[in-house]
Amino acid sequence: MTEAYFAESTIDWAAVELPDAWPDRLDWSRPTTAFRLLRRAMSRSRERVTLPDGLPGADRISKYILQEFHNLPNGNYSKHISAGYARGFDRAMLGTMAAGRARVARALAGATRVIDLGCGGGHLAGVLKASGVPEVLGLDPSPYLLQFAAKAYPGIRWVQGMAERTGLPDASVDGAAICFLLHEVPPKYLEEVLAELRRIVRPGGRLAVLEPSPVQWRLSWWPVIRGHGWRGAYFKWLSLSVFEPFLDPWHRQPFAERLAAHGFQVEADEVGCPFRYVQAVREGAPAVVPSPC
């Protein structure tokens, strides 16, 4: 079952013709377009995301993510805005993502098949591949982000789907990487994501998770500035300004305990600014690989 799944040919997301979403149909040569979108992004009221007719896999996308996360007009569902987001995210994080992703890649060194859940524009999957992991998969619900990722990072298997129902066979990966996904998942579905991780990561396999830190969310201004300087203040401002509907419940739940309840032994739980990094091993004896002779 596992080998059959991985032998299947996959969609070449780089070549798929995606339909224009409403932001793609705007006249970008008019200066008023950028102004209107900026005003919409800054406004406190948020619209629902509208998926254009003919979007591949639209029925696989859960309703709870069809919101304008990060104040993006139509969220992650258009060619223009998704590409801008995939390029701009690291800049908005002041270049800190490179060190965070390198940390995740170090934890998964030696793995042979790793999935990057919520891969977005594919930057973490790209780092994993460059670090020497032979087989890397990137999974995300947004076809627009998958297309960006597939063009930017060839040699990776891109899969459209939700982290709570990946479609992967049981115990089929020996590493799972997560970068800034779980704080976007509502508590009920987070439970499903953890159950899915338990199912797809083989015993002895490793999970490495990078998420926003509670430091910039929970601490008030002065302690953040005292502990983390102007960068801490910037990340606090960012966390208060950007639309993240499930950020507060994410920071309130005992993530490490929940991981343990799902059969992961927590090896590290480091809280800094702007990241929290958690690393865990899937409990149970690794499967014995039969010797060829």
When the beta carbons of 123 and 228 are compared against ligand SAM, the nearer one is 123
Asked if residue 274 has a cis previous peptide bond (ω within 30° of 0), the answer is yes
Question: Is 140 exposed, middle or buried (CB count within 10 Å of its CB: 0-12, 13-18, 19+)?
Answer: buried
Say how many residues touch ligand SAM, by CB under 6 A.
22
Supply the DSSP string of 138-157, one letter for each residue.
Answer: EEES-HHHHHHHHHHSTTSE
Per-residue string for binding with ligand SAM, 121-140, x by CB under 6 A? x-xx---------------x
In whole angstroms, the minimum distance from the beta carbon of 118 to ligand SAM comes to 3
Q: How far apart are CA 202 and CA 250, in angstroms?
A: 26
Find the binder of ligand SAM among 18, 65, 81, 136 (CB under 6 A). Answer: 65
* Tokens standing for residue 178: 């997560």
Distance, first Cα to last Cα, the chain: 23
Find the binder of ligand SAM among 21, 51, 67, 118 (CB under 6 A). Answer: 118
Give the residue among 124, 125, 142, 194 at the shortest CA–CA distance from 165: 194
- The yes or no reply on residue 89 touching ligand SAM (CB under 6 A) is yes
Give the residue among 77, 97, 106 at the shortest CA–CA distance from 19: 77
Per-residue string for binding with ligand SAM, 164-203, x by CB under 6 A? x--------------xxx--xx------------------
When the beta carbons of 89 and 243 are compared against ligand SAM, the nearer one is 89
- The yes or no reply on residue 21 touching ligand SAM (CB under 6 A) is no
When the beta carbons of 104 and 171 are compared against ligand SAM, the nearer one is 104
- The yes or no reply on residue 120 touching ligand SAM (CB under 6 A) is yes
Task: Evaluate the CA torsion angle 90, 93, 98, 100 in order and state its sign.
Answer: negative
* Residues of the shown chain interacting with ligand SAM in the complex, contacts defined by CB under 6 A: 65, 76, 89, 117-121, 123-124, 140-142, 145, 162-164, 179-181, 184-185
